[in-house]
């Protein structure tokens, strides 16, 4: 950041603006950002000045802001903010974006398969320890004040986030399109090639090789060749070769879906995986009761 001249603007503008307090301005996380960084930055530029000023004022009351932050509601202030955000992304985040995106895509694939297999009930039931689904209410361990968010038929956009730490967050304004941003800091269940396996999992790796054992684990919920490659950190051609060996052994079956090949476990493959992990599992603590959210 020093080389790019970002140390001062990050310290005087971004850090106060993106505070870790209970309030965060909604205009900084526009719905249009689902179409990519540039769409999100354009939405920040186009945010109504009155709304921006009101949210900056609320931020000032909750956590305090710097002189530079107070200038954001003006057109020039927002142009400067977008310039710094773009430079920060290019300098700090872009070099790691492939790894971040792979983790997000793995989470999205897992949610989609849960939806296809068990419907909305299955998708909401597996969102993680900070959320609990009890039809028709989704209970969320929320970091800010306790409140109920009524969807009223608007739907809920779930956003897996690499940088959302601890607990899910939502927009402050209940009139905006409902969004729930939840953390995916934990690595996926599929181990990477250099992961330390315990107990029976080591025995499986010794039997068929660590890479193929990782591929077998990855295909437990279904995975394309590209997803396997990203999950275990190998090339697509290597992932394809491992999947072929497992398919020839009767442990995996493959089918084409559009331009991708989806690999899933056969009954024999599922039996092998269950046998290898049965003794490795450890009991987990009961889910801690969380405050009611919707």
- pLDDT tens-place string over residues 247-268: 999 998 887 766 778 888 887 8
Same domain, 23 and 77: yes
Question: Which one, of 192, 195, 199, lies nearest residue 280 by Cα?
Answer: 199
- Please state the rounded mean pLDDT for residues 217-239: 87
For residue 288, the model assigns a pLDDT of 33
- Domain of residue 11 covers 7-95
DSSP class per residue in 188-251 = PSSPPTT----HHHHHHHHHH-HHHHHHHHHGGG-EEHHHHHHHHT--HHHHHHHHHHHHHTTS
Same domain, 169 and 208: no
Question: Which one, of 224, 215, 273, lies nearest residue 245 by Cα?
Answer: 215
- The band of 87, judged by pLDDT with boundaries at 50, 70 and 90, is very high
Each residue of 67-84: pLDDT tens digit? Answer: 667 778 888 888 999 999
Each residue of 142-170: pLDDT tens digit? Answer: 776 788 999 999 999 999 988 887 788 89
What is the number of domains present in the chain? 3
For residue 267, the model assigns a pLDDT of 77
**Of 201 and 194, the one with more pLDDT:** 201
- Beta-strand ranges (E) seen in 71-229 are 131-134, 137-140, 157-161, 169-170, 179-183, 223-224
Question: Which one, of 200, 197, 177, 175, lies nearest residue 275 by Cα?
Answer: 200
Count of C-beta atoms within a 10 Å radius of residue 31: 15
**Of 129 and 4, the one with more pLDDT:** 4
Asked if residue 14 belongs to a domain, the reply is yes
Asked if residue 213 belongs to a domain, the reply is yes
Asked if residue 148 belongs to a domain, the reply is yes
Same domain, 83 and 135: no
Token couple for 173 = 């304004």
The answer, yes or no, to whether residue 19 has pLDDT greater than 50, is yes
Same domain, 106 and 141: yes
Asked if residue 286 belongs to a domain, the reply is no
Residues 6+ apart with CB under 8 A from 192: 214, 231, 232, 233
**Of 232 and 285, the one with more pLDDT:** 232
- Please state the rounded mean pLDDT for residues 102-107: 72
- Residues recorded for the chain: 294
For residue 195, the model assigns a pLDDT of 41
For residue 278, the model assigns a pLDDT of 54
Task: Write the CATH number for 236.
Answer: 1.10.10.10
């Amino acid at each position: 950041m020093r080389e790019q001249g970002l140390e001062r603007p990050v310290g005087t503008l971004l850090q106060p603006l993106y505070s870790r307090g209970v309030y965060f301005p909604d205009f900084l996380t526009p719905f249009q950002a689902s179409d990519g960084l540039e769409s999100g930055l354009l939405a920040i530029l186009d945010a109504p000045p009155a709304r921006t000023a009101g949210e900056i004022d609320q931020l000032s009351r909750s956590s305090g802001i710097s002189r530079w932050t107070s200038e954001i509601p003006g057109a020039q202030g927002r142009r400067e903010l977008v310039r710094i955000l773009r430079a920060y992304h290019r300098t700090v985040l872009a070099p790691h974006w492939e790894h971040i995106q792979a983790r997000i895509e793995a989470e999205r694939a897992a949610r989609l398969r849960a939806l296809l297999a068990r419907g909305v009930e299955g998708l909401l039931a597996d969102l993680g320890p900070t959320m609990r689904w009890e039809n028709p209410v989704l209970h969320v361990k929320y970091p800010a004040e306790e409140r109920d968010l009524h969807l009223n038929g608007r739907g809920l956009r779930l956003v897996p986030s690499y940088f959302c730490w601890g607990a899910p967050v939502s927009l402050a304004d209940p009139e905006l399109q409902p969004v729930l941003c939840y953390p995916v800091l934990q690595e996926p269940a599929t181990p990477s090639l250099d992961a330390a396996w315990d107990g029976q999992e080591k025995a499986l790796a010794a039997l068929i090789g660590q890479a193929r054992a990782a591929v077998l684990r990855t295909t437990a919920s279904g995975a394309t060749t590209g997803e396997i490659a990203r999950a275990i950190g190998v090339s697509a051609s290597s992932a394809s070769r491992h999947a072929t060996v497992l398919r020839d052994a009767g442990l995996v079956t493959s089918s084409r879906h559009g331009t991708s090949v989806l690999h899933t476990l056969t009954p024999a493959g599922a039996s092998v995986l269950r046998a290898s992990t049965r003794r490795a599992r450890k009991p987990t603590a009961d889910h801690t009761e969380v405050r009611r959210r919707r």
